[in-house]
Structure 1
Amino acid sequence: MTGLTTAAARALDSTLDRTIAPGFTRLGYAVRRRLPTWPADPTPGILTGHHVAVTGASSGLGECTAHDLAALGATVHLVVRDAGRGGRVAAEIESAVGRAGAARVWVCDVADLDSVRTFCSAFLAAGLPLRALVHNAGALPATRTESPQGHELTMALHVLGPVLMTELLLPLLGADAGRVVFVTSGGMYSQPLPVDDPEFLRGEYSGTTAYARSKRGQIELLPILARRWLPAGVSVSATHPGWAATPGVQTSLPRFNALLGPSLRTAGEGADTTTWVVAADPAPASGQLWHDRQPRPTSIMRRTHPTALQRERFWEWVAESVTLPDFPSP
């Protein structure tokens, strides 16, 4: 493997990506790590003195990401719904890195826009400059469920809440050349942007379809958000973890979990690129989707590739739903 030329390594990497199954499993991660195109690991201690917030940090990918960022020196802010579970993770992080204060717990339901506003108000009052905000909180409901504001749950949790949270925390992110990371899913490749029905009011509801549609929404907002947040000095990326074994997958997709079994990535392998995007020096280019430390196409099938007008229409729905006082379309 070490004798591969750069061109051959890139071709192999792309082949793994396009064929999905090998590239998204443990095999894809193991092969890519051995290619000469694999970027260097973050410098030890590179996040010392920096603050990073991770939503959904009480289990799975979010918990692993928080551990990895703290190991690089960051003070990690665990944004969770359950303070008790968050406290357990915080204690484990501080024990692992041997540093008191390495992790702090904040309670917030990202799907609840009022909860997001309350959390952001408290965080802004603390005045801590943010190096990164990782939007990892996720859910895959079995039946159509609405947020407290009446939005379909996956769109509220994966799109509306994260956009609102970032907008409110921009002053803190801009103070440290901040990076915003949406942890998305390869499942979004199967779905087009639901411009005409973002709330999934039509047809028979499917949790897996709703999840993938909301993740498509994250991806298609990237160019718009990159332009919007550039004046604040804030970049935005999305990462997808491949197929990783997490509590969420085991609970929400038991057949998928049982079928792939040992082929699934560990949480650490799934979280690797998110940690790398946060810690890489220099910062990765804004507005891109990353998987296994390389930029990836956002659509594979033509039917899932939206027009610029469709992206703008979706953005207008997000802007109206979030109802910030100053929220113009870019």
Structure 2
Amino acid sequence: MDLRRVRYFLVLAEELNFTRAAHRLHIAQPALSQQIKALERDIGAPLLERGSRGCRLTAVGEVVTREAGELLAHADASHQRIRAAVSGRQGQLCLALTRSARGGPVDALIAAFRTRHPDVDLVVRTGWTAHNITELLAGRLDAAFVRPPLDIAGLECRHIAREELLVAVPANHPLARERRITRSHIATEPVILWPRENAPGMHDLITRQLWPAHGPRIVREEPDDEQLLLSVAAGTGIAPVPEGRARALRIPGVRLKHVTAPRPTVDLALAHPPADATPALHGLLSLVGTLPGPSAAAPSTRP
């Protein structure tokens, strides 16, 4: 199928008028008509019903309109990758973020990589730790930010940062008046958390640190930190949240509280396959140790 004809057809499908479509495409109207007829021959069915005041899409034309946008998007992406190869760009790096660690050292690391390696096509996605691990093991990612500990063989983990775990409470809750809260304060409080399957290691670590005796009394599960904090603001319960994410979201009606010693913490790591790292991945890993202060990386270890 001629992609140029598909592009012409999409403009015509928007205008439903050959004169206006030809004007947008900067071609003569008879030439546009010939290209559309040729596309109809390629497909084997009429795409338009022509009339004196314009045209309208046939049933097949409507299907082609829906599918053509995705087809052209894939074609454009492929074209960009080919052009990158021809112009000598240094490959591609597929990287996944974890939803609970946006900003801070993650953004700093990505910004540094883009600056140092402008010729690498950096493809960034976002997912939960468990999903990112699945994509890594399937070979669809080069590296991913995750929340350890991980009970997975076949991956290396490079420590990125450690941050304090805060407890979010409703603004009108008695605990909102406390300077610091104790584990006994929250032992029987209703708790909001995300599903354990999103990051089993982090989920269990939080439970051990904050509810060591009998575990939390979970009353609701939310898919992400923003929804979790909105539920706290509504008075549903309290919730443990990494400090960076909690302060970045700034949800009204929520108070963030430190917990008395021992201070609960969660880690952030960069997971990647242990061997066959691409030059682009080596470039990313070389920047991990340059992060300042408490975000500086520990040596690479198997999880």
Please give the TM-score of this superposition, normalised by the length of structure 1. Answer: 0.21
Higher relative contact order (CA 8 A, sep 6+): 2
Higher strand proportion (structure 1 or 2): 2
Which is higher, the Rg of structure 1 or of structure 2? Answer: 2
Higher helix proportion (structure 1 or 2): 1
